Structure 1
Amino acid sequence: MDELIRVENELNQAISAGDLLQASRLLDELNPREVTEVIERSPRAKAAVTYRLLSKSRALEVFEMLDPAVQGDLVHALRDDEVTGLFSELDPDDRAQLVDELPASVAQRLMLGLSAKDRAITTAILGYRSGSVGRRMSPEYVHAHPWYTAARTLDDVRAKAADAETIYTIPVTNDVKRLVGIVSLREVLASDPDATIGELMSEPEYALATDSAEEAARTCADHEYLALPIVDSETRLLGILTVDDAHQILRDAEAEDVARAGGSEPLRRPYLSTSIFSIARSRVVWLLVLAVSALLTVQVLEIFEATLEQKVVLALFIPLLTGTGGNTGSQAATTITRALAVGDVRTSDVWLVLLREVRVGTMLGLLLGSLGFVLAALVYDVPTGAVIGLTLLCVCAMAATVGGAMPLLAKTIHVDPAVFSTPFITTFCDATGLLIYFTIAKAILQI
């Protein structure tokens, strides 16, 4: 890592000084993955210069590794003939992702530069909605029929290996392309050359092209499949989702959830190559929403202004109570969102989840409330300690229940559970917690 940082710094200095020969020598010291990291961390203009210094063979390899948004930036900086060559060399699913990052006029020009076969394949992928696995599948695969022998299948693998996305998992189809089985290359290699694929194949697991890409990727990753067949509504084979693409989909989904849980929209490109305006835009909407929702807390404080005037010490505990409620709700929301993502919890489990979270929240409230009661009673008086203790108990139970329910509600109405982000739940628990606090205080302290 230290060596990469050194080379990157020297490369930036060489490009800034206009010493392109030295910059080219420095790039030769890096492998394609390291060059990709350097380009994705560079501003657009410098990234384009760096890319142009690569040899033709390395340039294609690096381009395929780049984030689609960065690929889109480079397309604008390269000559038409360079772009056309790169676009035609990409896999069809990678082409589809790049098209999503380009203006319609540029995308159309690149599509017209493809061969009729490549254009038809890419257009078919683009026909599926964004977010579906059909948009991320590869239509380039090796398949077999049940009546094929192992020897013939191996001949097909050798003939198509150069163009196929993967050869290690081989879907088996009938004469009308319906998926009937799956066989691994290992099984074919280890079998008798005259054995039929029908004897070797096993029951296939698959996903519909219209299914969520994240759900299909989760199936592929959880079962450790090297590739998952993708079919249409009549189980006709359309393509495959490879394990590396599945892991990339899951990484993208996790990055999106983390961003939204933190109260912002996910960046669509590496951080250092994202403009300041784009970063600000990704955050400002949520900040405005949260600022407006925080007015609930202000309204609650205004309602109980007279109560605070009679017992000023109550104001000292507001940060403790609101912070505890917000953190408890956030913990529950994060746990349930993760459980939904990995399939541990379904929306039909709502009552089980709520019952568990009420119990968890009550247990946490008893522990924190007991501690709060003792400390407040020692420093102030027993009635004040009772108010703090009971409030912590009620707030923890309420916040855990709300935090657990929000992701399930989001899933039910087909909204990303991460949209009900941590700041949103925190704001809700703040306002509700204050209502509980002042209600208990008025009842116990008779104010």
Structure 2
Amino acid sequence: MTDDQTRPPTAVIDTITESVNSRDLSGLAAAIGELTTRQLVAALERLNARQRAVVYRLLPKQQALEVFEAFPPTLQGELVAGLQDGEVAALFAELDPDDRVWLLDELPALVAQRLLRGLPEHERQLTAEVLGYPNGSIGRRMSPEVLTTHPERTVGETLARLRPRVHDAETVYTLPVLDHERRIVGVVSLRDLLGADDTAAVASVMRDAHTAGATEDAELAARRCADLGVLALPVVDSESRLVGILTIDDAVRILEHEESEDAARQGGVEPLRRPYLSTPVLSIVRSRVVWLLVLAIGATLTVQVLSVFEATLEQLTVLALFVPLLIGTGGNTGNQAATTVTRALALGDVRPPDVLKVLTREMRVGAMLGLLLGAIGFAITALVYAPQVGLVIGLTLLAVCTAAATIGGIMPLVARAIRVDPAVFSNPFITTFVDATGLIIYFLIARAVLGL
């Protein structure tokens, strides 16, 4: 789908904003009536909380539900605060249990409890089952509404049981096959059922099941679902009994959420968890200020190193000219290694026990990069200044790149081993390490080569 099909025209957004501000409800209804659901979502994400609530109340009931389900959980929670209790209760009851949990995680505890109490008994039980699993686990993101069948049941019987319940389940395209103790023995697809003879037993058309443990990390389970290319992944308890199902659309949603967090934290900010234009300025400030303070404190180590080697700088002031170059090159090298290994961790290409393999591999990569950059740095600096200064720069680039790539490569693995987000742990550490240690290496080499 193209951007033109998902983004509303700028003129329409301006009309919506003007109509809300002037309380021209007829003009507002006409403006939003021209938009598709996707365009409405994009338009509402650009409005503030008050404007969003006004526009939302004018939507037809079915379209309002579709728009609400398409919102990020943070915006859903904000919209709940702007609607009346009756409107909120109706919306909440229409959501699937796993979508309710996404929303409940964003709401104050008292509001969440009130919404849960307003649900019908059956829906409240389903939602409570999902809420019972740990934060970050796939059990908290699965749907407990699953259509199943048994291996001895015929294809015709399975299809007959499927038809009246087709609108109640999260998916009908993949059916777990269970024994009499609800242990999963296989899965069967709707395609296989439709293509088989009605008298055939389900056991003859089912295939082996890939499953996820209910307490397994949500990102890992979602990644496996995407890598396997399956439409749904059954979720089981410790005794292989079915407790829910993860659909591919929910898996993609989890991965998008996790990758947005990783991308933000690798850039030294906290994830906004909502569209940029609808995020209050103070929230953006809070997302950035903590990391700026952490990095500023780390930078004091650099100042300390410079003060220790102040006498060396006074003897040959040209050395100070290359400090930004060396720090920047080392930091970039380390961050490249950390980003590559963090991504490999997310994809399951490497694991914490592979730390020695990664260490030796990144050491070789860093040495080769340092050799190349060092040779170029030596040639240019030797021509402009002096061969001895060029040798200092060349050797420093070789040492700094090797050290930075090695540390950058193993930091994500160390972070995963101690159960810390690799994206949070790696880059600030690398920046501090390279700034301080890189300067120490630089001045030690300068003293050795130049005899200072």
Question: What interval of TM-score do these two structures reach, taking the shorter chain for normalisation?
Answer: over 0.9
* 1:271-420 aligned within 5 A: 271-420=276-425
Match of 1:437 in 2: 442
Structure 2 counterpart SS, 1:228: strand
Structure 1 counterpart SS, 2:200: coil
Report the alpha carbon displacement of residue 426 of structure 1 after superposing the two structures with TM.
Answer: 2.0
**Deviations along 1:239-296, whole A, 9 cap, x unmatched?**
1000000001000000000111011111122222222222111111111111111111
* 1:52-201 aligned within 5 A: 52-201=57-206
- Give yes or no for contact 1:372–1:388 (8 Å, CA) kept in 2: yes
Structure 2 counterpart SS, 1:33: helix
Structure 1 counterpart SS, 2:398: helix
Task: Return the letter of the residue paired with 1:130.
Answer: N
The worse-fitting range, judged by mean Cα deviation, of 242-251 and 65-74 is 65-74
Report the alpha carbon displacement of residue 12 of structure 1 after superposing the two structures with TM.
Answer: 1.1
Q: 2:25 aligned to 5, 16, 20, which one?
A: 20
Aligned residue pair count: 447
Match of 2:234 in 1: 229
Match of 2:430 in 1: 425
- Give yes or no for contact 1:261–1:420 (8 Å, CA) kept in 2: no
- Give yes or no for contact 2:8–2:35 (8 Å, CA) kept in 1: no
**CA separation in 1, counterparts of 2:394 and 2:220?**
43
**CA separation in 1, counterparts of 2:392 and 2:137?**
52
The worse-fitting range, judged by mean Cα deviation, of 180-189 and 72-81 is 72-81
**CA separation in 1, counterparts of 2:133 and 2:45?**
28
Report the alpha carbon displacement of residue 303 of structure 1 after superposing the two structures with TM.
Answer: 0.4
Runs of at least 5 residues in structure 1 that lack an aligned partner in the other structure = none
Task: Return the letter of the residue paired with 1:210.
Answer: T
Q: Determine if the alignment matches structure 1 residue 213 to structure 2 residue 218.
A: yes
**CA separation in 2, counterparts of 1:425 and 1:264?**
15
Task: Return the letter of the residue paired with 2:273.
Answer: R
**CA separation in 1, counterparts of 2:297 and 2:220?**
34
**CA separation in 2, counterparts of 1:221 and 1:310?**
60
TM-score, length-normalised on structure 2? 0.97
- Give yes or no for contact 2:19–2:25 (8 Å, CA) kept in 1: yes
Structure 1 counterpart SS, 2:313: helix
- Give yes or no for contact 2:8–2:39 (8 Å, CA) kept in 1: no
**CA separation in 1, counterparts of 2:12 and 2:135?**
38
**Deviations along 1:62-95, whole A, 9 cap, x unmatched?**
1111111111111111111111111111000011
Report the alpha carbon displacement of residue 3 of structure 1 after superposing the two structures with TM.
Answer: 5.2
**CA separation in 2, counterparts of 1:408 and 1:257?**
15
**CA separation in 1, counterparts of 2:73 and 2:398?**
49
- Give yes or no for contact 1:142–1:156 (8 Å, CA) kept in 2: no
- Give yes or no for contact 1:383–1:444 (8 Å, CA) kept in 2: yes
**Deviations along 1:212-246, whole A, 9 cap, x unmatched?**
00000000000111000001101110110000000
- Give yes or no for contact 1:262–1:421 (8 Å, CA) kept in 2: no
TM-score, length-normalised on structure 1? 0.98
- Give yes or no for contact 1:173–1:181 (8 Å, CA) kept in 2: yes
Report the alpha carbon displacement of residue 4 of structure 1 after superposing the two structures with TM.
Answer: 2.6
Match of 1:29 in 2: 34
Task: Return the letter of the residue paired with 2:379.
Answer: V
Distance 1:100 1:3, change over 3 A: closer
Structure 2 counterpart SS, 1:420: helix
Q: Determine if the alignment matches structure 1 residue 253 to structure 2 residue 258.
A: yes
Task: Return the letter of the residue paired with 2:79.
Answer: L
**CA separation in 2, counterparts of 1:341 and 1:137?**
20
- Give yes or no for contact 1:146–1:173 (8 Å, CA) kept in 2: yes
**CA separation in 1, counterparts of 2:63 and 2:259?**
30
Match of 1:51 in 2: 56
**CA separation in 2, counterparts of 1:144 and 1:5?**
50
Report the alpha carbon displacement of residue 427 of structure 1 after superposing the two structures with TM.
Answer: 2.5
**Deviations along 1:324-383, whole A, 9 cap, x unmatched?**
100000100000000010011111111111111111111111111111111111111111
Task: Return the letter of the residue paired with 2:141.
Answer: R
| Identity between Structure 1 and Structure 2 (%) | 58
**CA separation in 2, counterparts of 1:382 and 1:75?**
69
